Amino acid sequence: MNGIILIDKPQGFTSFDVIAKLRGILKTKKLGHSGTLDPMATGVLPVFIGRATKAIDLLPDGEKRYRAEFKLGYSSDTQDAIGEITEKSEVRAALEDIEKILPEFRGKILQLPPMYSAVKVGGKRLYDIARSGGVCERKAREIEIYSLEILSFDEASQSGTLDVSCSKGTYIRTLINDIGERIKTLGVMSGLRRTYSQGFDIKDCVTLEEVESAALSGSIGEMILPAESCFTVYPKITLTEKSERLYSNGVRLDKDRIGVSDEGLYRVYGKDFIGIGKAENGIFSAVKSFGGDDNN
């Protein structure tokens, strides 16, 4: 079994919980995921099966989109509603207060990673430092917010919903925390649903229950996408039978002779999808092959 299955991650599950559950359902050990989601979050979680796990470290840094719920008036140590309250504010915001400052958070901005995150400082994960009661100096990182819109806001409860499209590495709970501070109050993330990730949309996702039912009925194959579906941003090159044989044996090819004009990454096909190749300095060579044994 090889390919990608798009899971609508349920709330309360870690991304690793999803993998553990799928190992039991699919009866295979060789599984991996991309784009970790916190336990409180739901939505798009691509899971890679068999030889397709080779694709994880080559995934393009694509757009991610979220529907984020927030609550103003307090902050927490984790910047979400699950954490312990650290401070409260009596300042009440209006819808126009939020709308007025949102343009400041669109485009390329600097964001300070939260203490409860997997970012490493000095070889240690920030969340390990935070859980032991520590705090350390962090460097702000550049992220990009492609779009940011407020979908709803209830002034009575000081709660609302944002639609966010952003680059990899963006912390939505930190974005909400920073928005709260900017309008001179405080804010936490109260809910999060990822609706799009690396070319995959929530409408194409399935639940764990649906996967389990399909596995029992023998129709699981209908849910599995081919590995190349996550590389559609790269141009396609189809090799001749002779070139495919040379390429598969590790021979570096002349990029012009095989019809490759631009340098960069390519989806490589012979009779079927072979893997990812790279054109550089006039040479075309393999980056990752998706052939071989599963070794499950």
pLDDT 10s digits, 22-72: 999 999 999 999 878 888 999 999 999 998 998 888 888 778 999 999 999
> Tokens for 218?
């023998």
Question: Cα dist. 247→47, 80, 117, 251, 271 in Å?
Answer: 28, 50, 41, 5, 13
pLDDT 10s digits, 213-223: 999 999 999 99
Fold of 3-58+199-229: Pseudouridine synthase (3.30.2350)
CATH of domain 234-289: 2.30.130.10
- Confidence (pTM): 0.88
Could you give the residue numbers annotated as active site?
38
The CATH architecture that domain 64-197 belongs to is 2-Layer Sandwich (3.30)
Q: Where are the alpha helices (DSSP H) in 107-226?
A: 126-131, 172-182, 208-217
| Domains 3-58+199-229 and 64-197 agree in fold | yes
In the chain, where are the structural domains located? 3-58+199-229, 64-197, 234-289
N residues, the chain:
296
